[in-house]
Amino acid sequence: MNDLATYNFAYLDEQTKRMIRRAILKAIAIPGYQVPFASREMPMPYGWGTGGVQVTASILGPNDVLKVIDQGADDTTNAVSIRAFFQKVANVAVTTKTKEATIIQTRHRIPEEPLRDGQTLVYQVPIPEPLRFLEPRETETRKMHALEEYGLMHVKLYEDIARNGHIATTYAYPVKVEGRYVMDPSPTPKFDNPKMHMSEALQLFGAGREKRIYAVPPHTEVVSLDFEDHPFEIQKFDKPCALCGAANVYLDEVVLDDKGGRMFVCSDTDHCEGRQAHGHAGPMLARPRHQCKEPAE
């Protein structure tokens, strides 16, 4: 028996969780609408996922299985720290397998494997306001959302085409949710935007510093904004993943040496490992180890 003070389950006190759950319920009721909430100080700096952590802490139950990814990977600092945090303060089961998880907290990616009914995806959001860099006043952007004045969003896309000949926004690509609110899908690559559309899983977005929560309930229409003559397109990759040979997935570029050597691998590490375990192999995995260090390019 130790008489040290202990944490409440999942770190936050029950009143705080109650407040956050109310915000989440409201967000689900109005898809894409940013609900203000009284964001708490968390034992990590802003920008490390304080919003996502608070949402996860509020919805987490003792029987949940938690997966945390950062840029698609389970083994990066941010993911490891947050996973360890919840192991410590909630003692929940954790996993790296998308299929087994009930709650997936993510930064910058949506898993490649389609999410199913009953799963919840929690996004860490740095700047929830899609209109922020076009209109600096919060009072004005709120009014624009209220009155559905979204012409300005297209001004941004227009500028893209005028400068680059195509829509050059590659991440945080604005979407319209259920035909009403324009929403920032957090800095996920636009490659992931189609996965949000009619997803079976519940998607929750938490912005800790900006004190906003928003949501996309299951089976909700999520449409990426575009022009009639410049339709929305996702990124395409020339080669499949170098390790598992998967095509039509989002790839990370990994620089191998200072002689121009590089490889493209799945950003979703669980997806990549799963495929390798099933016997799929990319061009670089098949090679003996000594050749991997000096790939011919």
Partner 1 sequence: MSAVPLLKVKDVSKFYGSRIGCRSVSFVLYPGEVLAVVGESGSGKTTLLSCLSTRLMPSSGIIEYHMRDGQYRDLAHMGEAERRFLMRTDWGFVHQNPADGLRMTVSAGANVGERLMAVGDRHYGNIRASASDWLRRVEIGEDRIDDQPRTFSGGMRQRLQIARNLVTSPRLVFMDEPTGGLDVSVQARLLDLVRGLVHDLGLAAVIVTHDLAVARLLSHRMMVMKDGTVIEQGLTDRVLDDPREPYTQLLVSSILQV
**Catalytic residue positions?**
32, 241, 244, 266, 272
- The one-character DSSP state at 293 is H
In the complex with partner 1, which residue's Cβ is closer, 141 or 276? 141
Paired sense of beta strands 175-177 and 222-224, if any: antiparallel
- CB 281, CB 263: distance < 8 Å: no
Distance of CA 111 to the CA centre of its chain: 9
CA neighbor of 134 nearest in space, from 106, 114, 120, 154: 154
**161 interacts with partner 1 by CB under 8 A:** yes
Contact pick of 47, 62, 158, 219 for partner 1 (by CB under 8 A): 158
Stretch that binds partner 1, among 10-18, 70-78, 150-158, 244-252 (CB under 8 A): 150-158
- 8-state DSSP, 115: P
Q: Are 51 and 209 in contact (CB under 8 A)?
A: yes
The answer to whether 279 contacts partner 1 (rule: CB under 8 A) is: no
Taking the complex as a whole, how short is the minimal distance between the CB of residue 154 and partner 1, in angstroms? Answer: 4
Residue 168 is a binding residue for partner 1 (CB under 8 A): no
The CB-of-156 to partner 1 minimum distance in angstroms stands at: 8
Size of the site for partner 1 (CB under 8 A): 19
- Does 223 contact partner 1 by CB under 8 A? no
Quick one: 40 or 156, whose CB is closer to partner 1?
Answer: 156
Site residues for partner 1, 41-100, by CB under 8 A, read: none
**DSSP assigned state of 47:** T
Residue 57 half-sphere exposure toward CB, CA atoms < 13 A: 32
154 part of the interface to partner 1, by CB under 8 A: yes
Q: What angle do CA 180, 29, 218 make, to 5 degrees?
A: 85
Scan for tokens 């087994």, then name that residue. Answer: 100
Least separation in angstroms between CB 180 and partner 1: 14
Place of tokens 């996502």: 52
Nearest-approach distance from CB 174 to partner 1, in angstroms: 13
Binder among 229, 279, 290, 296 for partner 1 (CB under 8 A): 229
228 binding partner 1? (CB under 8 A)? yes
Name the one range near partner 1 by CB under 8 A: 67-75, 111-119, 226-234, 271-279. 226-234
CB 68 within 8 A of CB 104: yes
103-107 β-sheet, strand order: 35-36, 212-216, 202-207, 120-124, 103-107, 65-70, 93-94
What kind and span of H or E run contains 25? helix 14-29
Q: Can you name the residues that pair with 183 across neighbouring β-strands? A: 175
Site string for partner 1, 115-134 (x = CB under 8 A): -------------------x
Q: Which stretch in 82-90, 142-150, 172-180, 243-251 sits in contact with partner 1 by CB under 8 A?
A: 142-150
- Per rule CB under 8 A, is residue 227 in the interface with partner 1? yes
Residues that bind partner 1 (CB under 8 A): 134, 143, 147, 149, 151-152, 154-156, 158-159, 161-163, 226-230
